[in-house]
Amino acid sequence: MSQVTTTDLYEVTMALSYLREDMRAPATFSLFVRDLPPGRGFLVSAGLEPALDYLSRYRVGGTDVQEFAEALGRPAADLEPLRGLSFDGQVRAVPEGRLVFAGEPLLEVTAPLPQAQLVETYLLCLLCHQTTVATKAARCVIAAGGRPLVDFSLRRNHGPGAGMQAARLGALVGFAGTSNVAAATRYGIPASGTMAHSYIETFPSEEDAFRAFARAHPGPVTFLVDTYDTEHGVATAARVLVDLQRGPGCAVRLDSGDLSALAHRARATLDAAGLRDVRITASGGLDEYAVAMLVRNGAPIDVFAVGTKVGTAADAPYLDAAYKLVEYDGRPVMKLSSAKVTAPASKQVFRGPGLRDVIGLANEAPPEGTEPLLQTVMRGGLRSEPPDTLGAARARFEADLAQLPESARRIEDPVAPVPAVSTPLSVLTTVVRHRIEARTGAGR
């Protein structure tokens, strides 16, 4: 299926009307999050790189026109004005990995109106999902307090594509690896995996299974120890590792039960066997809340493998995001409907020390001591710079996280910073509102 036709139908109907009315002047749309989800003190900007890939390849072909016509139940000739349309606009965006807050544009598109309209749905889909999952993963990083995390989410993600994104986003915020082989290969992420309970069950005993696995894998191995009885499984794993002289780099994996208590007992068993270098990995429905509790309880867990709840951002799986027109043909515009008012004109976010942000106009002078968050990443439909790297995005994330107020870092009941609004933007908003109200009678 073409990425061009992966869109909402109303994008097509509006773009077709714009073309027939010869409304091709530059339009600026701003993509932002109105409110942070419950339980979130920040968001991690993510999804920009695939968004730029999408825009750089965007072109409406003959097959796309045919599919649009079939969806509308109209002759293909009626949709011919769309054929050949490509994206040749400008994009300003917050680079991946930066922390952002409610009301701040993640991305602004300026392009001929039909182009800017047609790409709305796909951009929202990319940035909303990936920002959601990156933020969930980032909270796990905070909760783990420096202990490694591994992405185990592929089998529970909402489709293979979402699984690829989850692995990439985990790496972006500092995960040590992923179980997803395709993602490990594509993105250069260390691959990580152990064995399933089914593997243990196929052998006459756990010891037979552990020895067979070790024979197949001469390097460090991880034994899953909770198929039958966890404490017995740990003791068996310890005996096999000592017998094979395979301690350093190896691990046992706990996947169920009281992970804190089991980890303490496993550590004691391993240490008593002289296997102080053997690590303990924990998995099984973990997210930042469970990880934080285990760390708080002093559980001697060395690696956390997180999957279902993180890859799906289970407790806050969506963003209240919007892609709204803020300027057309040089004229600032805004929406006045109740609870969904938007601010006019192209914007910039000016960041000061401690992540104190000011949302202002794109063309206003930055307040002293601040830096602009939105960067020009595309001109004339072409990238302004070479593709970004996960390493660079991770460095930006770590730098911002180091400045995030403790109240926003909290796993439970975080308080998100609220950006200020510049005087020029406030004044323009008032002027545009009054102009609309005078013209339309709104607000009377």
Determine the structural domain holding residue 400 and report its residue range. Answer: 9-133+316-440
Strand 375-379 versus strand 382-383 pairing type: antiparallel
Q: What share of the chain is helix, strand, coil (3-state, %, to 5)?
A: 45, 20, 40
Whether residues 179 and 100 fall in one domain? no
Return d(Cα 396, Cα 45) in angstroms, integer: 10
CATH number of the domain residue 372 falls in: 3.20.140.10
- pLDDT tops 80 at residue 108: yes
- Tokens 């590792």 correspond to what residue? 241
Whether residues 169 and 271 fall in one domain? yes
Asked if residue 191 belongs to a domain, the reply is: yes
- pLDDT tops 90 at residue 341: no
In this predicted structure, what is the pLDDT of residue 444? 57
- pLDDT tops 70 at residue 442: no
- pLDDT tops 70 at residue 61: yes
Whether residues 114 and 146 fall in one domain? no
Return d(Cα 263, Cα 304) in angstroms, integer: 12
pLDDT over 90, % of the chain = 94
In this predicted structure, what is the pLDDT of residue 167? 97
Average pLDDT, the chain: 96
pLDDT in tens, 394-441: 999 999 999 999 999 999 999 999 999 999 999 999 999 999 988 877
Mean pLDDT along residues 346-352: 97
Whether residues 128 and 156 fall in one domain? no
Return d(Cα 75, Cα 171) in angstroms, integer: 47
Asked if residue 4 belongs to a domain, the reply is: no
Residue that terminates a domain, selected from 311, 332, 363:
311
Return d(Cα 141, Cα 137) in angstroms, integer: 6
Whether residues 164 and 178 fall in one domain? yes
Asked if residue 119 belongs to a domain, the reply is: yes
Whether residues 168 and 302 fall in one domain? yes
Asked if residue 1 belongs to a domain, the reply is: no
Residue that terminates a domain, selected from 259, 294, 311:
311
pLDDT in tens, 152-211: 999 999 999 999 999 999 999 999 999 999 999 999 999 998 899 999 999 999 999 999
Please give the model's pTM, rounded to 2 decimal places: 0.95
Asked if residue 45 belongs to a domain, the reply is: yes
Whether residues 272 and 360 fall in one domain? no
Residues 6+ apart with CB under 8 A from 221: 213, 214, 246, 250, 251
Alpha-carbon distance values, 274 to 81, 130, 265, 267 (Å) = 75, 44, 14, 11
Asked if residue 94 belongs to a domain, the reply is: yes
Residue that terminates a domain, selected from 285, 311, 337:
311
Mean pLDDT along residues 209-229: 95
Q: How confident is the model at residue 2 (pLDDT cuts 50, 70, 90)?
A: confident
In this predicted structure, what is the pLDDT of residue 439? 85
CATH number of the domain residue 241 falls in: 3.20.20.70
Whether residues 266 and 150 fall in one domain? yes
In this predicted structure, what is the pLDDT of residue 248? 87
Whether residues 161 and 284 fall in one domain? yes
- pLDDT tops 70 at residue 352: yes
Q: What domain count does the chain have?
A: 2
Whether residues 298 and 333 fall in one domain? no
Asked if residue 232 belongs to a domain, the reply is: yes
Contacts 24+ apart (CB under 8 A), 336-339: 336/433, 336/436, 336/437, 336/442, 336/443
